[in-house]
A and B are shown apart, each in its own frame.
Chain A
Amino acid sequence: MRIAGRTALPARPDGGPAEHGPHLPPPGVLRVPGLDIAAAAGPKGIRSMDRATALAVAATGRLLAAAPGTDRARTAILLASASGSFATAMRLGADSVTKPRPYQIDPGAFPVAVMNYGSGQCAIRHRVTGPNTALRGGRIAFAQALRHARRLLAAGRADQVLCGAAEEATPERAWLEHAARPADAEPVPVGEGCALFRLVLDDAPGPRVTGVATARGHDPAAALTTAIRNALNESGLPRAAVTAVAATAGPDGNGPAERDAIRTALGDPAKLRHAHRTGDTGAATLGFALAAALDATAPGTCFALTAIDRTGTAACVIGRNA
C-alpha cells in the first residue's frame, strides 16, 4: 500500500512547553498553539466542534488540495481515536446531572459526542462521499485503520483512503489518561494533533506500508514479538532489513516490554526519537510515528513502528521509505 500523500498537524512539534495547573494532572497538556477552529474547519457550524475534528478537517483539506482531480465518491475516510471528543461527552453527561432538568443539554453538542462526528465532518466539509467511519482502539487504532484501509482498497470500495488519527488535549482527556495509566508509566503530557495519510494500492514509486500485524496476550513483550514477526513475514523481509524503529508504548507503562520485544524480534535497529514530542496523542501516536519515520530515514530504509495498547494488544507497522 503506497503512501501517496501525508500531512500532520502540528507540522513541527517542538516539544513544549506543556501547560500545567491545578485543573490538570501532573504531566499537563500540550496543545496546538493558537489553534483557530474557524480557520481550520471553516467559519460555519463550528460552535460545538471539538479540536481534534477541526485538525482532521484541516488535514483532509490539505491532502485533497495536494491531489487535485481525485474522485471524492471513490475516496474513503478512516479516522481513529481513543475516545472521540471525550470532553464533549463529559460536558453533556455532567450537564444532564447538574442542570435543573436532566435534558437541558446543549443540542448542538449532541452529534459532536458521537465518535464518528470527526470523520463525518471531514466528509461534509470536503464533499467526500466514499466509505467513512471512525475507529476506536486506543494506541493501536491507527494500525487497525491501516488494515481497514488496505481492505477497502483491495476490495475495490475506494481508489484512495484518507487514513489517520486525531486526538484533542483537554483536561477531561488528560484526567482520563491519568486514571487509566499505571503509576509507573512515563509522565508524558497529553497532547493533540492529527496525522493523516493518503493511501493507494498501486506499484508507483513512493513510500509504502508493507506490513501491519497485531497480537495480544498476558505478556505484552511476547505479544509484540509475535506482531513484529508477523509484520515482517507479511512484508517479506528478514529482520535485518529493518534498520530503524519508532517505539510508542511508554506512556502506558509498556516501555520495557516494548524494548524487550524489539530486541528479540529486530535486534538493535536505530531508535527514531520522534517519541511524543507532540505529547501523548493517543490513537494518533502511531500516525505521528509513521510521519516521523518518513521524515527521519533515508530513501529505501525499512522501518518498524510499534505500539502496545493498555489492554495488552500489540501492533507493529512496517514500512519502507522512498
Chain B
Amino acid sequence: MNARSAAVTGVGPVSAIGTGREAFTAALLAGASGLQDVTAFDTAGYRIRHACQVPDFAPEDWLAEPASAGRTAAMAVAAARLALADAGLDPEALRGERVLIALGVSDCEAAEEDRLAAAVAAEGPAGFDPAVAARYTASCAGRVAAELGLPGAETVDIAAACAAGNHAIVQGLDAIRLGEADVVLCGGADAFGRRMFTGFHRVGTLAPDACRPFDADRAGTVPGEGAGVLVLETAEHATARGARVRAEIRGGAVNCDAVHPVAPDRDSVAACIRLALRDAGADPSGVDAISAHGTGTPVNDVNEARAVRAVFGDRPPPLTAVKSMLGHAMGASAALGAIAAIAAIETQTLPPTINHRRTDAECAVDCVPNTARPARLDLVENHGFGFGGTNAVVLIGRAPCA
C-alpha cells in the first residue's frame, strides 16, 4: 500500500435505505428508495411533503446518555459504533491510541433548532428550554468521544455544508499521513430539519416527485438525513492487528469557488478534482467511476457534468448518484457517498442512479440508470460540493490483495 494512503477498515452508514454496511450495501445495489412522507414536523401548508428520513432510528439503542444528544449526534454515535464493529475494533482498545474523530456537519442540531424556533414563534427566545439549548450547541464529535469512552480523542466538527463529509475524510487522511493519529473516525452527520427543508422549498429546489440526478426532467433534490463514519488506519496499524482492509483513501482535495454563496462553479469543481487526482498520484484515466454529488437540481448536475468533462474529456467514467436513493443527507451526504464507493469497490458493482427516465443531453453522462452493474473498480472518485462554494473530492482505491 502506498505510504500516502490510509486503510479503510470499517464503515458505518446510517441512512434512509439501510443502517450498517450489509443492509446499506444490499439496498444500494437493489436500487432502494428512501423517499417517504415527512414525519419530523407537520407539513400542512407545504406543496411538497416528502423527504428521506431515517426510519425507526432509536437513539436509546446506541447511546448510554440519549438525553444529552440531539438526533445528529445520536446518528453519528450509531455510525461510529457500527464502523468500529465493522473494523473489529473495540472502543476500549482505543484508549491508549491516538484517535481523531472528525465529523462533517452542515449546521448545529437541526431537530433541536426546530424546537428553539418553535419557542421563538410561541413566546420569544426567553422561552428556550435549557436542555434543548445544551443539545443544540453540543459538539457532535465530542458526543461520539464521550459515548465511546475516549476522553483523549481529538475531536472536531467541520461545518462545510454538503461537502462536509469529504472535508472530514481529507482531514483524517492528513492526520494518518502526518503520523498524528493511529486511528481516525471520520465522516459526517446531519438530522432532517424544518429550516433546510423550508429553505429548499422556498427557493424552488425541492423535487416535486423524486430525486432524478442527470435526468432531462430533473426538478430538484429530496432532503434527507443520516450519518456515515469511516475507520481509517495506517497500513502498519491495520496489518499489525490483522484487520481486513476494505479499501484505501488514496488522496483528496478541498477548495472554494469564491464566486457565489449557492451557485456552483464549473472551473473550481474541475480544479478540485485535478488537485485530488494529483494528491492521489492518479491520472484521470485511472478513475473507474465517480460517486457523484448528483443532487438532482438542474444547476448542480449540469455543472458537475461539465466539470467532469473538463477533467476527463468526452468519455468520462460512469457517474452514479446515490442521492437518488438516499436523498440529500447534507453533512452526511459525502460520507455516505464514500461508503457507497467503498461498497461498489468491494462488490465490484456500481450502484445505480434510480428514478432515471432519460439522460439530459446537457449532462450526457452514464449515470448507471436504475440498475446496478458489475464493473472493474480499482479507483472511485467521491464528490461533495456545498453552499459557500466549498468543494471536496476524495479518491478511494481498491485494497491491495492480502
Contacts and interface: CB of A to CB of B under 8 A. Distances in A.
Interface of A: 23, 25, 72-73, 77, 82-84, 89-90, 92-94, 96-98, 101-105, 107, 110-111, 113-117, 119-121, 123-124, 126-138, 141, 144, 147-148, 151-152, 154-155, 157, 171-172, 174-176, 178-180, 214-217, 223, 226, 309-313
Given A102-B46, A157-B253, A176-B128, A147 B154 contact: yes
Contacts of A126: 258
Contacts, number: 245
Contact of A89 (B113, B118, B141): B113
Contacts of B138: 138, 310-311
B137 interface: yes
A129 B268 contact: yes
Given A103-B201, A157-B174, A175 B387 contact: no
B243 interface: no
A116 B386 contact: yes
B86 interface: no
A133 B390 contact: yes
Given A179-B129, A313-B139, A154 B178 contact: yes
A84 B159 contact: yes
Interface of B: 43-47, 105-108, 113-114, 116-118, 120-121, 124-126, 128-130, 132-134, 136-139, 141-143, 145-146, 151-152, 154-161, 164, 167, 171, 174-175, 177-178, 180, 194-195, 198-199, 201-203, 253-262, 268, 271, 386-390
A113 B118 contact: no
A171 B127 CA distance: 12
Nearest to A139: B137
B152 to A, nearest CB: 6
Nearest to B175: A151
B103 to A, nearest CB: 10
Given A93-B118, A121-B261, A180 B160 contact: no
Given A120-B388, A144-B155, A155-B177, A94 B117 contact: yes
Contacts of A120: 256, 258, 261, 387-390
Contact of A179 (B46, B130, B262): B130
Contacts of A134: 158-160
B254 A131 contact: yes
Contacts of A114: 106-107, 161, 387-388
A137 B255 contact: no
Contacts of B175: 151
B389 A123 contact: yes
A86 B137 CA distance: 10
